[in-house]
Amino acid sequence: MYSINTRQLIITKKLRTKVHNQTKNTENNRKMHQTILEELLKLNDDPRVHGVYLHLPPAALTNRVLNSLKPEKDVDGLLKDLLKCFCFCTGFQQLTEHRYIFLHRAVGSLVLSSLHSLFSFIVRQNVVRSCTRWLQEQQYKPWRLRSLKLQPLTPVPSDLQISRAQTAKPVNHLAEEIGLLPEELEVYGRSKAKVRLSLLERLNSQPDGKYVLVAGVTPTPLGEGKSTVTIGLVQALSAHLNLNSFACLRQPSQGPTFGIKAANNLVAAAIDARMLHEATQSDKALFSRLVPSVNGVRRFSPIQISRLRRLGIIKSDPSSLSPEEVNSFVRLDLDPEKITWHRVVDTNDRFLRKITIGQASTEKGLTRETGFDIAVASEIMAILALADSMEDMKSRLGRMVVGTSRSGTPVTAEDLGVSGALAVLMKDAIKPTLMQTLEGTPVFVHAGPFANIAHGNSSVLADKLALKLVGEDGFVVTEAGFGADIGMEKFFNIKCRASGLRPNAVVLVATIRALKMHGGGPSVSAGAPLPTEYISENLNLVSGGCQSNLKKQIQNAQQFGVPVVVAINVFRTDTPAEIDLVCQLAKECGAFDAVPCHHWMQGGRGAVELAQAVKEATSKPSYFQFLYDLQMPIVEKIRTIAKRIYGADDIDVSAEAQRKIDYYHEQGYSTLPICMAKTHLSLSHLPERKGAPTGFVLPIRDVRASVGAGFIYPLVGTMSTMPGLPTRACFYDIDIDPITEEISGLF
Amino acid sequence: MYSINTRQLIITKKLRTKVHNQTKNTENNRKMHQTILEELLKLNDDPRVHGVYLHLPPAALTNRVLNSLKPEKDVDGLLKDLLKCFCFCTGFQQLTEHRYIFLHRAVGSLVLSSLHSLFSFIVRQNVVRSCTRWLQEQQYKPWRLRSLKLQPLTPVPSDLQISRAQTAKPVNHLAEEIGLLPEELEVYGRSKAKVRLSLLERLNSQPDGKYVLVAGVTPTPLGEGKSTVTIGLVQALSAHLNLNSFACLRQPSQGPTFGIKAANNLVAAAIDARMLHEATQSDKALFSRLVPSVNGVRRFSPIQISRLRRLGIIKSDPSSLSPEEVNSFVRLDLDPEKITWHRVVDTNDRFLRKITIGQASTEKGLTRETGFDIAVASEIMAILALADSMEDMKSRLGRMVVGTSRSGTPVTAEDLGVSGALAVLMKDAIKPTLMQTLEGTPVFVHAGPFANIAHGNSSVLADKLALKLVGEDGFVVTEAGFGADIGMEKFFNIKCRASGLRPNAVVLVATIRALKMHGGGPSVSAGAPLPTEYISENLNLVSGGCQSNLKKQIQNAQQFGVPVVVAINVFRTDTPAEIDLVCQLAKECGAFDAVPCHHWMQGGRGAVELAQAVKEATSKPSYFQFLYDLQMPIVEKIRTIAKRIYGADDIDVSAEAQRKIDYYHEQGYSTLPICMAKTHLSLSHLPERKGAPTGFVLPIRDVRASVGAGFIYPLVGTMSTMPGLPTRACFYDIDIDPITEEISGLF
């Protein structure tokens, strides 16, 4: 009936054996106690052990033993019952260890055996009771969230000041409030914790909560506040409407990125080292090094067996390979001109955009041109965000294509022999990081793939964990990068396909500023003061923006069958007439609802209206459908996105792009979804064309593939994967007080 | 009398004011309670608040408020006393919040005022009592270490199997056992925690424990086991002799290196970006970007003020600078040929040893040759290991010289404006990481500088924290890289100078294998099978090694006035006669004692004899002295080390080296200590010369400086700062089980 019993019994048996072996030598009771104590403490601390059911020789049952086992692991309560009965029978109320042993020797097994029938009854009852208790503990727990109060100030202070004025709950308190078990948490410092994926197994039968995507209109270069709306919305839901909710955000790049860089650069180092070794060694020398004789025995490692299988060689004895088979096994024969894998670094280091490596004499003239990207642009980051288990991540890492051989075969990370090591380097990164909003509501921060050459969404695993945790009536609010034409389209066609999750609503963030820009306002650029159109009422421009960009982005969401709530991220300079106009026009354009949000100033209280609209929208049935079928030819998939989402008349595929498309088709990659690398500043490929441009043909300059992440990415323009540093970088202002450790100079 | 009162009072006052402002509006009691609760929870969680002494209006004293304040922070017990009295007077035993408020309104301040004199007595008594309690908590706490039992097996299983068979104590339990306060700990996962430096302040008046260095004879390429001796020794001391002890180890390179790489590469990115901006902008443009007008005001940042001061410009108004002053302020004028700063990466990536950067068109032709080092070779790692506070680290980071200007002036990290940002990136790395041995005794793992171009010792801060924690009668065992001629010499002359700490004993690790090699045995190399001389008895070779290398290394330690205990790290193939011979000869050569160690097979139990010898040695007075005075000329310092430690006849300084020495002298760096970059495989510069070579002249090929770390490093040979990957790298075997997360393929 209770599957847990098997595990308990194994452990019990192990313990009994150990103790039994010790007690044969009855001379040293202390030694026996020590052994038992050690074992109990291990069992206490072992998260895989859910309960301990002890059968021990009577002499082993001292007070210290009794007090060592954690109450929550004490499956049968036998020890305490036994001692109680014993005390009752012997008249002793307080037993010290010494007294107990003395007593045991004096009274011996007589008393114990007379109590035997009573014990066996208690034991049976307790086993049933404790298994029931364990099963209950594993069930979904209703939240007991204690929200933190905000005291909004006017004028609104800096982010840094606001954040400092609030004291976060210890993360283990937060975890307990939202029903996480202690063994599912790996605390990192006071306010962050990694959450183990075993949660998905425990809450497997628990229905998911509502799944809400926050997307946006086409933004100005200043950004329109999708992340703040995401946070405001969950604060409103959890702290003001008492509905369970979780925000899932992407991780900023200079953060606790764990193994990503090391994993990415291990692949790069392995590529170049392998080319060197192949260039300087014979087949025989390579083979004897790759499959060395250890104590006279040569053996393939599992990863080498995988490579042999891919080569069609079904052998496992190294000595049985023919010279041709050895040749194809030892030579990846990478074409230095066709290596697509870049190194990464977590700093804006523009001088690494294009470099020549291998110039030291030790590298024997094997120089080649390559480059570094910023860490988040790594395919490994996209994999981290799309994987839905450790196993899935591992196989995606193995499938990553790093280049092609001289004969045109794709060479993968598994061919290089690094895929297991990559998974090891990523084993902590795969667990989402639990943090909290200013109002003490839970947030997962996890992964941060680029939104152009990758899909720009927070991780599948964070969303999945959160959907279980919030429960059936709760909400998970997740964010997609850039405008809805990019982030939302990729969320639906790439991320939802990978995860199998279905969204219940889209929140489309708009600002009066962005709408005015789309309505024909002057250009907006970072650093320059805003033109007056943007800081005084102009209903004309607002209306123009609503009728063009906002309307098109609403329709884009509707093509997927999902209801849209427009959230106006209100600025101080916005007028009531402007806000009312957007609400009215958005609804006319097909939005389920449209509401102003004041979370920037008021926290969750300022987004209560949005929360109510979202609650209402998700209570309606949604009819989600993908935009295209994966079986369509690559070109047709690209054309579908260009025409239906961007409003293009057609696409124009360059010769280079067509060559790549044919190659990917040949290699069997044509059923992958499409991840468009297009500017986020326009629905078209031309950043200066605002509103909802029409009458343009989208050029497809080049096409690349992230086979491990699982998408093909057409390049519409030039995408920078390594930012630069300005003349006066922000580091000039950043400092730390050596005594208080307070950091200054952040925003 | 109690200085803590000031802080308490400030907090109390703040709280009272907040509550007072709220209660003016008596209409909303709930609101007031909410405020009080929030504040109390913040105070509970704030590690800077050691106790809270509350004065609140009576209506605020509900059960919820009473239960919110943590007992250990409840300075006066006032609340509970008050309620008790109140219950007594009113006859109510159980007060719900609602009832209380009702009561208060009915009975009012009459009852309360009649209780006033009783209260003030209780309050005064409690304040004294609680301050005393707080002071007691701050005192040094005796350890209550629970050691873990080992069950050694024969044959000894792999490291990975041994490590898996043991369950570590949760790190917070360990921390409590060794007297750390909860607020001094930052837990990272289950088995690691960072320890805050505030500990040094708390235990300031606590005398240090004994300070023991583990060094070694000149090793074979296989290593002779200094780290295992270090661990065995602390296990023996703590788990078998019940003496407090701490091991301080260096951190392996692919570990939780936190900000080091990011910090190092930020400097590199800043250098190249700065050169680009200087090459493409006029003085005026540079100045207006470096000191931008924000809301019409131009202001220097503190780091820019520091640069002005170094340039001798005592002005703080940007508009008051003359064109010449602007020019010298905005132009670092770095000479691209003389940039010494390298980028780093945490992977063995040989193709990055020498590279050309800046080849993308965006970098406008400003290409230059540079290279990457492995992360641990960064000067920042050496700084981390030598800093003795956050402040010290910050100023060392600022002093780092990254290159020279075209006019020959050193350019520092502070000139680049990055030193504050570097300190921020390193704020977690500076805290030592607490871990434990297999027997549950404490270990600090912290920093891991190279032992050739840097000093190769574990960190000053880890040693200092550990010396306080073990208490006056405890032991801190710290390790130095390579043979005693390198690691120990640098420990004494560089690390002890930086820290001010004085060692009580040196443990010199020797193996029969290494001694036989020094006695004339055939050469030993990694990968090749050991010649028979090393696996069968050969007293002649052993004796030769003792009379040469062992003797010289013992004498080297004695030159510093510190007693030496020789620890023979026993291998299975060593014979009793060989071991006895080493013990006898070592003592004849001047060792205080010499003992065999079996910790590899038996854990701490196998090092009990060593522990006793170390205890004995440290009980004797030691007469520590440095080998050279810092005021000596650079060349003389180098010569002293070469002659007295290595046994050289003299040194031969190349022209290039002499030029650098003169330049460093000119720049005021001549009083820095010396950090020799020499092979560790011989006392001389020739790896093949074993034993104690004589009759050689040590060539000084080049001289460099790590001004931030604070040493000059002469290069005796070519030092590789970027390892390569072999044809079959260990990653082929590394894998992770996706379900159990168990890692395979490690050693």
Q: Which two tokens stand for residue A322?
A: 């023919």
- Per residue in B644-682, pLDDT (tens digit) is 999 999 999 999 999 999 999 999 999 999 999 999 999
| B721 has a pLDDT exceeding 60 | yes
**Do the Cβ atoms of A727 and B357 come within 8 Å?**
no
Do A475 and A351 reside in the same domain of the chain? no
Find, among B436, B438, B435, the residue nearest to B163 by Cα. B438
Domain at B313, CATH number: 3.30.1510.10
**Do the Cβ atoms of A359 and B357 come within 8 Å?**
no
Do A179 and A120 reside in the same domain of the chain? no
- Best probe of the B interface among A731, A744, A746, by most B CBs < 10 A, is A731
Which residues form the domain of A471?
Answer: 159-256+435-619
Residue A435 makes CB contacts below 8 A (sequence gap 6+) with A171, A191, A192, A442, A443, A444, A445
The pLDDT value recorded for residue B111 is 36
Say if CB A524 and CB A511 are below 8 A apart. no
Distance in Å, alpha carbon of A151 to nearest chain B alpha carbon: 10
Give the Cα-Cα-Cα angle B3, B9, B11 (nearest 5 degrees): 120
| A1 has a pLDDT exceeding 70 | no
Find, among A71, A75, A104, the residue nearest to A15 by Cα. A75
C-alpha–C-alpha distance, residues A230 and A53, integer Å: 47
Do B513 and B539 reside in the same domain of the chain? yes
**Do the Cβ atoms of B743 and A266 come within 8 Å?**
no
C-alpha–C-alpha distance, residues A341 and B388, integer Å: 41
Say if CB A428 and CB A187 are below 8 A apart. no
Q: Judge whether B722 lies within some domain.
A: no
Find, among A194, A207, A141, the residue nearest to A459 by Cα. A194
Chain B CB contacts of A339 under 8 Å are none
Do A249 and A274 reside in the same domain of the chain? no
C-alpha–C-alpha distance, residues A196 and A182, integer Å: 10
Q: Judge whether A478 lies within some domain.
A: yes
Do A235 and A265 reside in the same domain of the chain? no
Tokens 């591992």 appear where? Answer: A394
Residue A554 makes CB contacts below 8 A (sequence gap 6+) with A508, A564, A566, A586, A589, A590, A591
Please identify, among A367, A399, A425, the residue that sits at the C-terminal boundary of a domain: A425
| B344 has a pLDDT exceeding 70 | yes
Rounded mean pLDDT, A496-510:
97
Distance in Å, alpha carbon of A369 to nearest chain B alpha carbon: 9
Tokens 């860490």 appear where? Answer: A375
Do B126 and B247 reside in the same domain of the chain? no
- For A417, nearest residue in chain B (alpha carbons): B732
- For A349, nearest residue in chain B (alpha carbons): B269
| A724 has a pLDDT exceeding 70 | yes
Name the average pLDDT for chain A: 86
Q: Judge whether B734 lies within some domain.
A: no
Query: Which of A193-207, B76-90, B210-224 has the least mean pLDDT?
Result: B76-90
**Do the Cβ atoms of B741 and A390 come within 8 Å?**
yes
Residue B307's alpha-carbon distances to B298, B330, B331, B332, in angstroms, are 17, 10, 11, 10
Rg (chain B; Cα; Å): 31
**Do the Cβ atoms of B346 and A301 come within 8 Å?**
no
- Per residue in A254-274, pLDDT (tens digit) is 543 445 667 888 888 889 989
| B589 has a pLDDT exceeding 50 | yes
pLDDT bracket for residue B126 (50, 70, 90) = low
Say if CB A175 and CB A188 are below 8 A apart. no
C-alpha–C-alpha distance, residues B679 and B485, integer Å: 10
C-alpha–C-alpha distance, residues A530 and A511, integer Å: 14
**Do the Cβ atoms of A417 and B743 come within 8 Å?**
no
- Best probe of the A interface among B35, B344, B351, B461, by most A CBs < 10 A, is B351
- Best probe of the A interface among B734, B742, B746, by most A CBs < 10 A, is B734
C-alpha–C-alpha distance, residues B464 and B197, integer Å: 10
Give the Cα-Cα-Cα angle B556, B558, B564 (nearest 5 degrees): 100
**Do the Cβ atoms of B360 and A349 come within 8 Å?**
no
Q: Which two tokens stand for residue B661?
A: 């020495």
C-alpha–C-alpha distance, residues B640 and B225, integer Å: 29
Chain B CB contacts of A729 under 8 Å are 270, 273, 417
Find, among A728, A96, A31, the residue nearest to B329 by Cα. A728
Do B412 and B501 reside in the same domain of the chain? no
Q: Which two tokens stand for residue B30?
A: 């709930």
- Per residue in A516-530, pLDDT (tens digit) is 999 999 999 887 889
| B74 has a pLDDT exceeding 70 | no
Please identify, among B592, B619, B646, the residue that sits at the C-terminal boundary of a domain: B619
Rounded mean pLDDT, A537-566:
97
Find, among B512, B501, B509, B500, the residue nearest to B480 by Cα. B509
Rounded mean pLDDT, B403-408:
93
Q: Judge whether B720 lies within some domain.
A: no
Chain B CB contacts of A736 under 8 Å are 390, 394, 420, 423-424, 427
Say if CB A657 and CB A701 are below 8 A apart. yes
pLDDT bracket for residue A737 (50, 70, 90) = confident
Q: Phi and psi (nearest 5°) for A146?
A: -100, 110
Q: Is the ipTM of this complex over 0.95?
A: no
Amino acid letter, B131 = C
Of the candidates A372, A482, A491, A492, the residue annotated as catalytic is A482
Query: What distance lies between CA A573 and its chain's CA centroid?
Result: 37
Residue B337 makes CB contacts below 8 A (sequence gap 6+) with none
Domain at B608, CATH number: 3.40.50.300
Do B579 and B442 reside in the same domain of the chain? yes
The pLDDT value recorded for residue A99 is 35
Chain A CB contacts of B369 under 8 Å are 359
The pLDDT value recorded for residue A28 is 60
Say if CB A413 and CB A380 are below 8 A apart. no
| B12 has a pLDDT exceeding 90 | no
Please identify, among A562, A586, A619, the residue that sits at the C-terminal boundary of a domain: A619
Q: Which of B187, B276, B347 is the closest to A265 by Cβ?
A: B347
Do B237 and B191 reside in the same domain of the chain? yes
Residue B684's alpha-carbon distances to A178, A706, B549, B674, B696, in angstroms, are 64, 53, 11, 17, 8
**Do the Cβ atoms of A360 and B346 come within 8 Å?**
no
The pLDDT value recorded for residue B72 is 60
The pLDDT value recorded for residue A730 is 81
β-pair partners for A597: A569
Q: For residue B80, how many other CB atoms are within 10 A of its CB?
A: 15
Number of A–B residue contacts, CB under 8 Å: 259
Domain at B641, CATH number: 3.10.410.10
Strands B593-597 and B192-195: unpaired
What's the first-to-final CA gap in chain A, in angstroms?
58
Q: Tell me if residue A341 is catalytic.
A: no
DSSP 3-state of A186? strand
Q: Judge whether B516 lies within some domain.
A: yes
The pLDDT value recorded for residue B263 is 81
The pLDDT value recorded for residue A60 is 65
| B412 has a pLDDT exceeding 90 | yes
Q: Which of B357, B731, B745 is the closest to A351 by Cβ?
A: B357
Cα dihedral B466, B467, B468, B470 in deg (nearest 10) = 80
**Do the Cβ atoms of A273 and B351 come within 8 Å?**
yes
Q: Tell me if residue A586 is catalytic.
A: no
The pLDDT value recorded for residue B722 is 87
Do B439 and B560 reside in the same domain of the chain? yes
- For B418, nearest residue in chain A (alpha carbons): A731
DSSP 3-state of B650? strand
- Per residue in A560-592, pLDDT (tens digit) is 999 999 999 999 999 999 999 999 999 999 999
| Higher-scoring residue by pLDDT: A344, A593 | A593
Chain B CB contacts of A19 under 8 Å are none
Chain A CB contacts of B728 under 8 Å are 289-292
Chain A CB contacts of B277 under 8 Å are 727
Q: Which long-range contacts (CB under 8 A, 24 or more apart) does B52-55 make?
A: B52/B8, B52/B11, B52/B12, B52/B15, B53/B8, B53/B9, B53/B12, B53/B78, B53/B127, B53/B130, B54/B12, B54/B15, B54/B78, B54/B79, B55/B12, B55/B16
Do A497 and A350 reside in the same domain of the chain? no
Rounded mean pLDDT, B197-222:
95
Distance in Å, alpha carbon of A141 to nearest chain B alpha carbon: 23
Say if CB A217 and CB A205 are below 8 A apart. no
Do A247 and A267 reside in the same domain of the chain? no
Distance in Å, alpha carbon of A585 to nearest chain B alpha carbon: 37
Q: Judge whether A149 lies within some domain.
A: no
Chain A CB contacts of B146 under 8 Å are 41
**Do the Cβ atoms of B289 and A728 come within 8 Å?**
yes
C-alpha–C-alpha distance, residues B743 and A254, integer Å: 28
Q: Which of A270, A347, A725 is the closest to B725 by Cβ?
A: A270
Q: Judge whether B741 lies within some domain.
A: no
Query: Which of A162-166, A611-615, B475-479 has the least mean pLDDT?
Result: A162-166
- For B742, nearest residue in chain A (alpha carbons): A424
Of the candidates A35, A228, A340, A575, the residue annotated as catalytic is A228
Enzyme catalytic residues of B: 226, 228, 250, 261, 451, 482, 571, 600
| Total domain count, chain A | 4
Rounded mean pLDDT, A475-499:
97
Chain B CB contacts of A389 under 8 Å are 738
**Do the Cβ atoms of A345 and B265 come within 8 Å?**
yes
Q: Tell me if residue A571 is catalytic.
A: yes
- For B415, nearest residue in chain A (alpha carbons): A732
Of the candidates A86, A450, A492, A600, the residue annotated as catalytic is A600
The pLDDT value recorded for residue B280 is 92
Q: Judge whether B144 lies within some domain.
A: no
Name the average pLDDT for chain B: 86
pLDDT bracket for residue B27 (50, 70, 90) = low
C-alpha–C-alpha distance, residues B427 and B448, integer Å: 17
**Do the Cβ atoms of B735 and A363 come within 8 Å?**
no
**Do the Cβ atoms of A350 and B363 come within 8 Å?**
yes
C-alpha–C-alpha distance, residues B593 and B18, integer Å: 67
- Per residue in A106-144, pLDDT (tens digit) is 333 333 333 444 445 555 555 566 666 777 778 888 999
**Do the Cβ atoms of B420 and A731 come within 8 Å?**
yes
Distance in Å, alpha carbon of A92 to nearest chain B alpha carbon: 30
**Do the Cβ atoms of A728 and B292 come within 8 Å?**
yes
DSSP 3-state of B28? coil
Rounded mean pLDDT, A720-738:
85
Residue A233 makes CB contacts below 8 A (sequence gap 6+) with A212, A214, A245, A247, A477, A507, A567, A597, A599, A607, A610, A611, A614
